[in-house]
Amino acid sequence: MARSDAARTSAPRTLFGHAGDGAWLLVGGYVLILVDAVAQSLTPAVFRVVLNRIQHDPHQFVRTGWQGPALGAAAIAGTFLVAAYLAHTWTRRGAARWANNLRGALYEHVQRLSMDFFHRSHVGDLAALINQDTERLELAVWQGLTLWWAVALLLISVGLIAWVDPWMALLAVGLLAVAVVWTLLVLPRLRRHTRDIRDELGRTSGTLAEMLGVNALLKAFNAEDHALGQVRDGTERIRAGSETFARLQHRYADPLGFHLSFVAPFLLLFVGAWRSATGTLEIGDVVAIWGFWMRGSTALTAVITTLPEVLAGMAASERTAELLDERPAVADRPHAPALAVTRGGVAFEGVSFAYPGRESRLVLDRFDLTLEPGQTTALVGPSGAGKSTVAQLLLRFFDPTGGRVTIDGRDLREVTQASVRAAIGVVFQDSVLVSGSLARNLRLARPTATDEEIVTALEAANAWEFVRAWDDGVETELGERGVTLSGGQRQRLAIARVMLKDPAIVVLDEATSALDASGERLVLGALDRLLAGRTSLVIAHRIATVRQADQIVVVERGRVGDIGTHSSLLRTSATYRSYCREQAVA
Ligand SMILES: Nc1ncnc2c1ncn2[C@@H]1O[C@H](COP(=O)(O)OP(=O)(O)OP(=O)(O)O)[C@@H](O)[C@H]1O
């Protein structure tokens, strides 16, 4: 709650900083609409002059007295037209630019956040925030202009009433105070409700995106109804929230409209008429006072219906500001240099680590390991021992809680993350391919790679044989997440991507565990070429795939257990021997 309050107060400032070249258009639009409000609220002043002149000297009015009010009316109309047009177009353009800048800034910001953020966030919620909340904000800036105009119109109207008669202005201020107090009482509840609805919308988008992403799993388990139920629960909560909001909104807006459009003008009219009857006001003054009030209050009552959009925009701005306030857990030090890789030696020196949010549980506990340059080190051990965590620390997805990780003697915390990741190529168990052409996928590793270099990488990865058969070759569209490829083909493309990157260090995290025997042979051949001459960290469940490694490390409960080559471990390590027996490896 405290977080949200902080974001609430800092949101407008944080966000307006991203308005960029839209800022002046917005400021201009919001200022110009005041000119429009002044022009519009002056209309009853013309009535006043006309009526009072007719009352004093009708003949004079017919001869020349009409000219002044007519000129005034023309000036008001001209100012109104120009100011309204400019205010509306500037605000629209400014809001669109602001939202666009914000979308870009949010995406860039999210990209810079660390792994822990992605572990605790829903991708769908983030996408909703970046796209829909910024759109909401744009709409709210636009609707807010009309609200601002109506409030300004009412305040200027009260000022004009004071110009005609201070006592009547006092009455108008009292009537306005009732509206303000009513608003202050109800608005916080409306804001809270709007925020809840937007959060629920984000959560449901997250669930929806997740369920669509795992539709093969849902189909395989006939669990579509379960997913549907989860999405329905979310949409049901959104419906209930929206209904409650609508009830609340009308409980607020309807009495307010009644007060502004009925109670207040009648009171002003009757008190004015009474004062006119007693000779302290002229009839034109009474009409003008009534007209001033009606001009402002009618406008305000009309735009109060847009309040939900404005509130939704405010809630969206809080969510957006909260995301922008999010700081990466792993950050580059100021002026950190790039890592200069010379030999590609890696060392874990007394590394301890606990995942953020689970600080009490050490996943790595004084983990010591040296990866000699150009050699292959394999990590084996029971599930949950911490093998993948070792790889995540080498990629600097997280910083160790204790000890240090070095490449060529340089602590990874002293250099930029980008330079660390540029030095390392990774192949995961489930190779991720993005939608777009194959060439585009491979160029993620090296944007400047030529088609010839891509083909060479594909050949080295045993992938060219199937790619060359495709009609469009490397320009073939892969489809979202590469679903049109077999597991082995995907793996070989992922290897080709790392080949193209040509890193000094390679990490393979269960890169072959999901493959069948024939797919594995081709992938292993490709991997042999990839690992040759590079410092490699290979995480494997199956010992058969790593028996050739220069050193094999048995990881147990976050520590280095036994260490050696396959044959030496068979002699010295009972744990390793038992793994080999379980997997029938001689
Ligand atoms: N993002 C995370 N947040 C919190 N805990 C995590 C996270 N990722 C992994 N863990 C925990 O850290 C421990 C080590 O996980 P890790 O994935 O490194 O093990 P592993 O040896 O690679 O296991 P496997 O062979 O099953 O992949 C496990 O207990 C796991 O539950």
Measure 396 CA to ligand 1 centroid, in angstroms. Answer: 16
Q: Same domain for 551 and 407?
A: yes
10 Å Cβ neighbour count for 213?
14
Among 120, 364, 388, name the best residue to mutate to test ligand 1's pocket (greatest count of ligand atoms within 8 A of Cβ).
388
Q: Which parts of the chain register pLDDT below 50?
A: 1-4, 7
Q: Same domain for 186 and 274?
A: yes
Measure 363 CA to ligand 1 centroid, in angstroms. Answer: 7
Measure 397 CA to ligand 1 centroid, in angstroms. Answer: 14
Among 355, 401, 557, name the best residue to mutate to test ligand 1's pocket (greatest count of ligand atoms within 8 A of Cβ).
355
Question: Is residue 335 in a domain?
Answer: no
pLDDT tens-digit series, residues 265-302 = 999 999 999 988 888 888 888 888 888 888 888 888 87
Q: How many domains does the chain have?
A: 3
Position in ligand 1 atom list of the atom nearest CA 115: 1
Measure 355 CA to ligand 1 centroid, in angstroms. Answer: 9
Task: Collapse the DSSP code of 525 into the 3-class scheme (helix H, G, I; strand E, B; otherwise coil) and give the result.
Answer: helix
Q: Same domain for 350 and 457?
A: yes
Among protein residues, the one whose CA lies closest to atom 10 of ligand 1: 355
Q: Same domain for 316 and 356?
A: no
Q: Same domain for 60 and 184?
A: no
Q: Which pLDDT does position 188 carry in this prediction?
A: 87
Question: Is residue 382 in a domain?
Answer: yes
Measure 370 CA to ligand 1 centroid, in angstroms. Answer: 21
Question: Is residue 362 in a domain?
Answer: yes
Residue type, 304: I
Query: Pick from 318, 41, 277, 268: which is nearest to 152 by CA?
Result: 41
Q: Find the largest Cα–Cα distance for the chain.
A: 124
Among protein residues, the one whose CA lies closest to atom 4 of ligand 1: 355
> What's the distance, Cα to Cα, between the start and end of the chain in Å?
60
pLDDT tens-digit series, residues 519-530 = 667 777 888 888
Query: Pick from 170, 505, 469: which is nearest to 346 by CA?
Result: 505
Question: Is residue 8 in a domain?
Answer: no
Domain range for 192 is 166-280
Measure 386 CA to ligand 1 centroid, in angstroms. Answer: 6
Position in ligand 1 atom list of the atom nearest CA 510: 27
Measure 273 CA to ligand 1 centroid, in angstroms. Answer: 81
Measure 390 CA to ligand 1 centroid, in angstroms. Answer: 10
Q: Which pLDDT does position 461 carry in this prediction?
A: 87
pTM: 0.73
Q: Which pLDDT does position 21 carry in this prediction?
A: 85
Q: Same domain for 144 and 25?
A: yes
Q: Same domain for 372 and 455?
A: yes
Q: Same domain for 449 and 573?
A: yes
Alpha-helical (H) ranges within 166-282 are 166-213, 215-220, 224-258, 264-277
Rounded CA separation 548/553 (Å): 13
Question: Is residue 48 in a domain?
Answer: yes
Q: Same domain for 133 and 242?
A: no
Among 121, 364, 387, name the best residue to mutate to test ligand 1's pocket (greatest count of ligand atoms within 8 A of Cβ).
387
Task: Collapse the DSSP code of 483 into the 3-class scheme (helix H, G, I; strand E, B; otherwise coil) and give the result.
Answer: coil
Among protein residues, the one whose CA lies closest to atom 29 of ligand 1: 384
* CATH number, position 90: 1.20.1560.10
Q: Which pLDDT does position 231 carry in this prediction?
A: 85
Last residue of a domain, one of 329, 364, 389: 329
* CATH number, position 554: 3.40.50.300
Q: Same domain for 439 and 574?
A: yes
Among protein residues, the one whose CA lies closest to atom 12 of ligand 1: 363
Question: Is residue 419 in a domain?
Answer: yes
Rounded CA separation 179/154 (Å): 12
Positions of E strands within 466-582: 505-509, 535-539, 551-556, 559-564
Backbone torsions φ then ψ of 210, nearest 5 degrees: -65, -45
Among protein residues, the one whose CA lies closest to atom 27 of ligand 1: 383
Q: Same domain for 353 and 371?
A: yes
Q: Same domain for 86 and 42?
A: yes
Pocket of ligand 1 from Cβ distances under 6 Å: 119, 355, 358, 363, 383-389
Question: Is residue 397 in a domain?
Answer: yes
Measure 435 CA to ligand 1 centroid, in angstroms. Answer: 29
Question: Is residue 408 in a domain?
Answer: yes
- Containing H/E element for 237? helix 224-258
- C-alpha neighbours within 13 Å on the C-beta side of residue 74: 5
